[in-house]
Structure 1
Amino acid sequence: MKRFAASLLLLLAAGQAQAQNPTYQVGTTTLTLSTLTTGLNTPWELLWGPDNFLWMTERGGRISRINPTTGQLTPLLTIADVTQAGESGLLGMAILPSLTLPAIPQYSVFVVYTYTNNGTLKEKLVRYYYDELLGMINPVVVLDNLPATNIHSGSRLLILADRTLLMTTGDASNTSLAQNPQALNGKVLRLNPDGTVPTNNPTAGSLVYTLGHRNPQGIARVAATGRIYSSEHGANNDDELNLIEPGRNYGWPTVEGFCNLPAEQAFCQANNVREPLTAWTPTRAVAGLTYYNHPAIPQWANTLLLVSLKAGALTTLPLNASGDQLGTPADLWAGTYGRLRAICVSPQGRVYLSTSNRDGRGAPAATDDRIFVLENRAYSPTATQAARAATWQLYPNPAAADLPAELNLPPLSTTATLELTDGQGRRLWHETLAARQQSVRLPASAPGLYLLRLRTPDGQEQYARLLRR
């Protein structure tokens, strides 16, 4: 009897584990879905950061980093002037690493959100600087005073290869704005990081990259081809998946979906309208969009991954080689986990996606909102990755200005040079470290932010920051 009871408990435990980590079959590849983080409130953006952490916005105004292995969440900032109203609040985010000292976590972080100006809801784009010691600092308004409402405010952000920025905007429930070339709503905008107009935009002096959009909710770029794709909410019909081409018109509000009605055909011919690659009726509230091309899931090579809110689906959209046509869309699931809004892919080929069940239109579970990980656990990369450089152990940091700090390293295999420079790049102190040396005392220095640089004879460098207070 005791053996039977024990066996039963093991079977029940196995069944619970399977229910908690469901699997999905994609050809011969088995994908496992697991929960990474719970207890969130309407995640809006999910990015794989240059620091190999997940970065997330929540609609109420919080920006966080999430450890992709443990799920531990580190809040970075809650933006005080975010106004969350209906579908509006803190929305899209994009991260632009610094061109200098790339080994040091220092980025421009762009976020778009709605705020209240003299009692009226508006939308703006703000750039923060992120420093590993100082956090999110120095906010600068890049673009503001865009009309906004509690619906149709977009907005996703995307950094292009030339370090310009794309920003999608909804029509703010004013359909006339989408076709007005002077208005910034109902558009995909392209701007320099400082908010100025790129010299090669389709119209000189204008931020407008494309027009005729209702409410774009996803944007992605394929590096190999340079092609850009966007998902867009339709009204009562024709959610769209668009290929974004500079200077093109996407039809709204005259054209919904394809140019297949007489009035639409005339408008399309006269206004350089680009038809969608595909459209969905009934609508699914298509949202986050990303690109997949990793050997961990070979069946998804050269494929767009799309999540949707109303349908609650993860949809695969295979591309042809040139990227201008789609194969047959397919849902991996639909409705199983509620509303899905954001999605991204890690360099290891794992897919991260978030629910949006606390956005006022879902039926949240006790652990919602959540971030899931979808992965092929049987995948092992064949290429050998280079070993990471030794990790700094700098203590204390921040450090008192009038006291030395202690730097600890794993044993060095060779001699190395260590130098301390100030914020203007002036060398204040240096020392040659012996092979196998494991520690060094750094001198006291005035309050400020300092850079430590370790150089080995083979040309390798490591960096760390020291904050003196």
Structure 2
Amino acid sequence: MMKTLRIAALALLLGAGCQPAARAQAPALTTFPVGSTTVTASALASNLNTVWELVWGPDNFLWMTERGGRVSRVDPATGQVLPLLTIPDVTQTGESGLLGLAVMATPTAGTYWVFVVYNYTDQLILKEKLVRYTYANGALSSPTVLLGNISATTTHSGSRLLLLADGTLLMTTGDAQQQPQAQNTSSLNGKILRLNLDGTIPANNPIAGNPLYTFGHRNPQGLLQLADGRIYSSEHGPNNDDEINKIEAGRNYGWPNVEGLCNLPAEATFCAANNVREPLTTWTPTVAPAGLAYYDHPAIPGWRGSLLLGTLGGSRLMQLTLDASGLTIPTRTDFLSGFGRLRAICVSPQGKVYIGTSNRDGRGLPAATDDRILVLENRAYVATATVAAQKLAFELFPNPAQRQATVRLAAPTQVLTVRDLLGRTLLRVQPTGLTATLDLAGLRAGTYLVQADGPMGRNTQKLTIE
């Protein structure tokens, strides 16, 4: 009996040693049901100032921007905020300031590219620019302006950033209160722009030599891509017709000639003549839709296959279900009221949802501990050790390879991506089972990265082609 107890105690100690350091479980601020699941909301970090963006980084930390100019990493285990840099030329006035953020790993271990978009002042004129920093050894350095001199005002600046699976970057811009410019394909305002990671224009953009990806936008503030490539955006309407849009290259989204659906005679005429893509859903009265995420994790089954939307004026989290084609939103369900303006949202590989409040942005009623990062989680969910150990393991052979390689998966995986060492996507395969073949015939000899993405997270291995 004593021997059994000693073995059990040793197993517990060894198991504890394999776990990351964690804070004591935070007090529940509220709970609510999602189907048969109880979701608990707690505070990860407090006393922040207008959280604008949250992304899950390649280092398994949260990365955050605050509108005043600060970029930070946040430890999801302890809630510790680790400031990296307060960008000196950020201009915060009205809705302007430090806005969107994207983070990606580089081929150098522990080094990331960090993309930010913010407003700045140039000879007393407010403008907007996209800048890439390099992160290494706990610091941001080497700022490189990828796109600047974008017209701005104190409202309608956009601007979310999204790294696409093809190795390019999307950036949303608002109309900067210059409404006709949204329809002007030579203007950078009222657009979703697409750039290479060095700021050059992709050769296959809808208009040659133009960063335009889509146009006719008023003020898009949410942006995401699903594993199958579909892209969605949330957009602020005027006093009516907030929108969720499916983003398709080259399409016109109507503003300012169309508000919401093409359901008025003049709108219908304009839509027919200008290839306008109607929104999937609209809101009147408006809710001020902001951060947008996709949920596909077993921790909260009732949210799987849905968009999750933070709202500012609506002050609540919304679940937007998608049909199988991703072309309609059959239902909309509200959650998490009582925390004020909700702007930023991201989902971790563990199925937790992180939401940043925006109550100190001049339009909210901040509580004493605002602004906060909230965590929504199913505390009863425990991934088994077997699943955790196998979740994204895969074999890659032969390695080195020549014209073909085989991937043997330990668990179902949504997509396999082959990238070069600059992070550019060269090949994507959606496995139909536990094995997949990579056709390497079009790739030159060299070193590449093979990345597996699934509901439980991500794993990457090197592949050498001879």
TM over 0.5: yes
Read off the aligned partner of 2:159 and give its amino acid letter.
Answer: S
The CA deviation at 1:163 is 1.2
Three-state SS of the structure 2 residue aligned to 1:269 is: helix
Supply the distance in 2 between the matched residues of 1:197 and 1:297 (Cα, whole angstroms): 40
Contact 1:96 1:163 in 2 (8 A): no
Supply the distance in 2 between the matched residues of 1:256 and 1:332 (Cα, whole angstroms): 27
Equivalences, count? 369
Supply the distance in 2 between the matched residues of 1:300 and 1:369 (Cα, whole angstroms): 26
Alignment root-mean-square deviation, CA: 1.9
Supply the distance in 1 between the matched residues of 2:388 and 2:241 (Cα, whole angstroms): 45
Matching residue within 285, 295, 311 for 1:282: 285
Supply the distance in 1 between the matched residues of 2:85 and 2:325 (Cα, whole angstroms): 41
For residues 443-462 of structure 1, the aligned pairs below 5 Å read none
Instruction: Tell me if 1:381 matches 2:386.
Output: no
Matching residue within 344, 347, 352 for 1:345: 347
Equivalent residue for 2:111?
106
Three-state SS of the structure 2 residue aligned to 1:385 is: helix
Contact 1:221 1:227 in 2 (8 A): yes
Equivalent residue for 2:246?
243
For residues 307-456 of structure 1, the aligned pairs below 5 Å read 307-334=310-337, 336-382=338-384, 383-386=386-389
The CA deviation at 1:177 is 0.7
Q: Deviation string for 1:348-403 (max 9, x for gaps)?
A: 0000001100000000000000000000001111343349xxxxxxxxxxxxxxxx
The CA deviation at 1:73 is 0.4
Read off the aligned partner of 2:374 and give its amino acid letter.
Answer: F
Equivalent residue for 2:156?
152
Equivalent residue for 1:265?
268
Equivalent residue for 1:86?
94
Read off the aligned partner of 2:312 and give its amino acid letter.
Answer: L
Matching residue within 197, 216, 240 for 1:193: 197
Matching residue within 210, 217, 222 for 1:213: 217
Three-state SS of the structure 2 residue aligned to 1:96 is: strand
The CA deviation at 1:322 is 2.1
Equivalent residue for 1:173?
177
Three-state SS of the structure 2 residue aligned to 1:178 is: helix
Q: Deviation string for 1:213-258 (max 9, x for gaps)?
A: 00001101111x2100000000010000000000000000010000
Q: Deviation string for 1:233-291 (max 9, x for gaps)?
A: 00010000000000000000010000000000000000000000000000011000011
How many percent identity over aligned positions? 64
Three-state SS of the structure 1 residue aligned to 2:302 is: helix
Q: Deviation string for 1:427-465 (max 9, x for gaps)?
A: xxxxxxxxxxxxxxxxxxxxxxxxxxxxxxxxx99xxxx
Three-state SS of the structure 1 residue aligned to 2:388 is: coil
Three-state SS of the structure 2 residue aligned to 1:151 is: coil
Equivalent residue for 2:443?
none
Name stretches of at least 5 consecutive residues in structure 2 with no aligned partner: 1-24, 391-459, 462-466
Equivalent residue for 1:182?
186
Equivalent residue for 2:234?
231
The CA deviation at 1:134 is 5.4
Supply the distance in 2 between the matched residues of 1:384 and 1:266 (Cα, whole angstroms): 54
Q: Deviation string for 1:296-348 (max 9, x for gaps)?
A: 011111110000001111000111122122121110133x1110100000000
Contact 1:125 1:143 in 2 (8 A): yes
The CA deviation at 1:97 is 1.2
Contact 2:341 2:359 in 1 (8 A): yes
Equivalent residue for 2:398?
none
Three-state SS of the structure 2 residue aligned to 1:384 is: helix
Matching residue within 234, 251, 255 for 1:252: 255
Equivalent residue for 1:135?
139
TM-score, normalised to structure 1, is 0.77
The CA deviation at 1:19 is 8.4
Equivalent residue for 1:409?
none
Instruction: Tell me if 1:23 matches 2:31.
Output: yes
Equivalent residue for 1:442?
none
Supply the distance in 2 between the matched residues of 1:332 and 1:385 (Cα, whole angstroms): 29
Supply the distance in 1 between the matched residues of 2:180 and 2:285 (Cα, whole angstroms): 24
Mean Cα deviation higher: 323-332 or 205-214: 323-332
Equivalent residue for 1:119?
124
Instruction: Tell me if 1:55 matches 2:72.
Output: no
The CA deviation at 1:96 is 1.9
Supply the distance in 1 between the matched residues of 2:44 and 2:26 (Cα, whole angstroms): 16
Contact 2:223 2:232 in 1 (8 A): yes
Contact 1:53 1:67 in 2 (8 A): yes
Q: Deviation string for 1:180-231 (max 9, x for gaps)?
A: 00001000000001111101111111100000000001101111x2100000
Q: Judging changes above 3 Å, is the alpha-carbon distance between structure 1 residues 349 and 20 closer, same or farther for their aligned structure 2 residues?
A: closer
**Structure 1 outlier segments of 4+, above 6 Å:** none
Instruction: Tell me if 1:38 matches 2:46.
Output: yes
Supply the distance in 1 between the matched residues of 2:77 and 2:32 (Cα, whole angstroms): 21
Q: Deviation string for 1:64-96 (max 9, x for gaps)?
A: 000101100000000000000100000000112
Read off the aligned partner of 1:169 and give its amino acid letter.
Answer: T
Matching residue within 290, 295, 300 for 1:292: 295
Mean Cα deviation higher: 203-212 or 19-28: 19-28
The CA deviation at 1:20 is 4.4
Matching residue within 288, 299, 304 for 2:307: 304
Read off the aligned partner of 1:31 and give its amino acid letter.
Answer: V
Equivalent residue for 2:166?
162
Larger Rg belongs to: 1
Three-state SS of the structure 2 residue aligned to 1:266 is: helix
Three-state SS of the structure 1 residue aligned to 2:180 is: helix
Name stretches of at least 5 consecutive residues in structure 1 with no aligned partner: 1-16, 388-459, 462-469
Read off the aligned partner of 2:324 and give its amino acid letter.
Answer: A
Supply the distance in 2 between the matched residues of 1:130 and 1:322 (Cα, whole angstroms): 39
